[in-house]
Amino acid sequence: MKKAALTILVLCDEARTFAEVESAHPEPSLYGVTDGKAVGTYFEHKFQAYLKKKYVYEKGSSAKGIDFPGLGVDMKVTSIKQPQSSCPFKSAGQKICGLGYSLLVFMYDKKDNRATQTGTLNILHTIFVQADRTADYQTTTGIRQIIKNDGNIEDIMAFMSDRNLPLDDIAAKKLAERLLKRPPKVGYLTISNALQWRLQYARIIKKAGSVGGIIKVL
């Protein structure tokens, strides 16, 4: 049977179905596992295998950097106890203009069953964040407020400096000029500065389904 092409809409539908099934699946290999990276790898590989049986799509690699490069989507799997993950740092502008791709985020609560020696991932939230909403909330709202208050390039540069964005003066001025002409959309992630961006998801849990670009899949 010919496989169908994977689209973002189909990806979200399949994410919902897979999350519901996985939430009821007792998995022996997860029993006693506390390493979030190991849990995430298990889930991601299983979801990819599930999709590969039914759809044709470009699978990600370390070189491409995201899980679904053809769709411009990266998958994140995180515990609800601390809903966050890391992603590669490309430029300081990602914190203001977005990561450059969308996110499909699964948040789980893992329970171990001593009697059956299995672990189960109860997927509590599955949320799709459109690319133009993947910037940092406080940074984007702050810059928008400066522009609304008739701020200029120097005001924006000072704000970015206060937030310790890793930019030299030349890059900061160029970005400020661009933002003044085209203010950023409000992002809904919390992004911490680091060698890799640290993405935190508490806000998207609250906002899913109530603001544009934050889609509650499950």
Write down the domain spans for the chain. 4-82+101-131+193-216, 137-181
Residues 61-119: pLDDT tens digits? 666 689 999 999 999 999 999 999 999 888 889 999 999 999 999 999 999 999 999 99
Which residues are within 8 A (CB) of 109 and not within 5 positions of it... i.e. 6 or more apart?
A: 79, 80, 81, 121, 122, 124
Residue type, 7: T
Q: Can you give the pLDDT of all 218 residues of the chain as single tens digits?
A: 788 999 999 999 999 999 999 999 999 999 999 999 999 999 999 999 999 999 999 988 666 689 999 999 999 999 999 999 999 888 889 999 999 999 999 999 999 999 999 999 999 999 999 999 999 999 999 999 999 999 999 999 999 999 988 889 999 999 999 999 999 999 999 999 876 899 999 999 999 999 999 999 99
Any idea which residue has 């029993």 for tokens?
A: 31
Average pLDDT, the chain: 94
Closest CA to 47 of 26, 76, 69: 76
Closest CA to 217 of 200, 199, 205, 203: 205
Q: Which pair of structure tokens corresponds to residue 75?
A: 């998958």
Q: Under CATH, which architecture does the 4-82+101-131+193-216 domain have?
A: 3-Layer(aba) Sandwich (3.40)
Question: With contact defined as beta carbons under 8 Å apart, do 151 and 107 qualify?
Answer: no
The pTM score is 0.93
